[in-house]
């Protein structure tokens, strides 16, 4: 006997309960012809005749009645699993909007933001552009400026320092070269700053922060990165001190109404605690191999 398609069993139960293909098809969102073919296929797989087919409808045989009893028992056993899955799908989701490097940091510390016992899920919206918190695109946004809109609330978590980084094993020639994001795609102050330096020889371009980072790690040239990103990578080192003109505040922003939701408040408090615990790192106070 071939393996039973358990979805055919589900179809079988509906046909047995409704007594015909047309009504079963309507309930299953299928066609009568498709349901009929599946019942024939099930009978062939089981090597049993399950129905007596009459003009008035489908009547179960003794084998059909035996299978129906087993199928109903199977459905009853599966009900707790289905309820569990539906409960998981119905959990509220807290969406967090952050740039590449902040999202990377939050992912590395995900256990500080969520536990398996939490009655909610977390979704990251990683982008360098600002998603619309006022219109509920996300619940929490990590921003470099305090919001001005009246319907937004914010909590300051510290400051973010930036510095120039190169590969620790970079050649002397590579230390005179730069990599950057093009002006037309530069969405952050740091990427715009590099493009504004007249003496920088830019030899490679990237359209995402992650690709920029890969170019630096490969020894292609230097790039400006947030200190909390570059200083966590032992394969990189700073070139000089952090850049005071690129020091930014860090704010967690949310809709004024959403911040009262239990799951949003929980994630917000955990993010504040995590970021404040690493305030020195974010502020540029933990350089690895700084040449300054």
The runs of H, that is alpha helices, within the chain are: 6-18, 21-28, 32-46, 62-89, 100-108, 189-195, 209-217, 227-230, 262-277, 279-282
User: What is the pLDDT at residue 83?
Assistant: 63
Q: Classify residue 66: in a domain, yes or no.
A: yes
User: What is the pLDDT at residue 53?
Assistant: 92
User: What is the pLDDT at residue 12?
Assistant: 94
Q: Classify residue 276: in a domain, yes or no.
A: yes
174 and 55 share a domain?
no
State whether residue 46 is helix, strand or coil: helix
Domain of 95 in residue numbering reads as: 91-292
Residue with token string 């299978």: 67
Give the count of domains, the chain: 2
User: What is the pLDDT at residue 84?
Assistant: 63
102 and 206 share a domain?
yes
In angstroms, the CA 9 to CA 11 distance is 5
Segments in the chain below pLDDT 50: 1, 289-292
In angstroms, the CA 230 to CA 160 distance is 12
150 contact partners, CB below 8 Å, separation of at least 6: none
Q: How far is CA 47 from the centre of its chain?
A: 47
User: What is the pLDDT at residue 291?
Assistant: 42
233 and 124 share a domain?
yes
State whether residue 128 is helix, strand or coil: coil
The CATH number for 201's domain is 3.40.190.290
pLDDT by residue (tens digit) across 98-148? 999 999 999 999 999 999 999 999 999 999 888 889 888 899 999 999 988
For 70, 102, 165, the CA distances from 75, given in Å and listed in that order, are 9, 45, 60
User: What is the pLDDT at residue 85?
Assistant: 60
pTM for the structure as a whole: 0.68
User: What is the pLDDT at residue 87?
Assistant: 57
């Amino acid at each position: 006997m071939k393996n039973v398609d358990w979805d055919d069993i589900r179809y079988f139960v509906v046909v047995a309960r409704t007594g015909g293909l047309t009504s079963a098809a309507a309930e299953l969102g299928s066609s009568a012809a498709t349901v009929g073919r599946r019942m024939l296929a099930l009978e062939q797989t089981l090597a049993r005749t399950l129905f007596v087919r009459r003009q008035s409808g489908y009547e179960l045989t003794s084998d059909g009645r035996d299978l129906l009893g087993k199928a109903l028992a199977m459905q009853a056993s599966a009900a707790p699993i289905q309820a569990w899955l539906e409960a998981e799908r119905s959990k509220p989701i807290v969406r967090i909007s952050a740039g590449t490097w902040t999202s990377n940091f939050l992912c590395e510390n995900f256990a500080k933001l969520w536990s398996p016992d939490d009655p909610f899920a977390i979704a990251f919206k990683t982008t360098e552009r600002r998603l619309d918190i006022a219109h509920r695109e996300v619940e929490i946004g990590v921003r470099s400026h305090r919001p001005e809109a009246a319907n937004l609330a914010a909590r300051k978590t510290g400051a973010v320092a930036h510095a120039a980084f190169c590969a620790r094993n970079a050649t002397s020639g590579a230390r005179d070269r730069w990599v950057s994001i093009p002006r037309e795609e530069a969405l952050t102050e740091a990427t715009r700053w590099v493009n504004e330096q007249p003496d920088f020889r830019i030899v490679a371009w990237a359209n995402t922060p992650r690709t920029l980072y890969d170019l630096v790690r490969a020894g292609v040239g230097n790039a400006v990165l947030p200190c909390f990103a570059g200083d966590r990578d032992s394969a990189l080192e700073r070139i000089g001190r952090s850049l005071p003109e690129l020091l930014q505040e860090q704010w967690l922003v949310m809709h004024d109404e959403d911040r009262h939701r239990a799951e949003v408040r929980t994630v917000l408090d955990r993010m504040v605690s995590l970021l404040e615990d690493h305030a020195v790192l974010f502020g540029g106070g933990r350089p690895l191999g700084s040449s300054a």
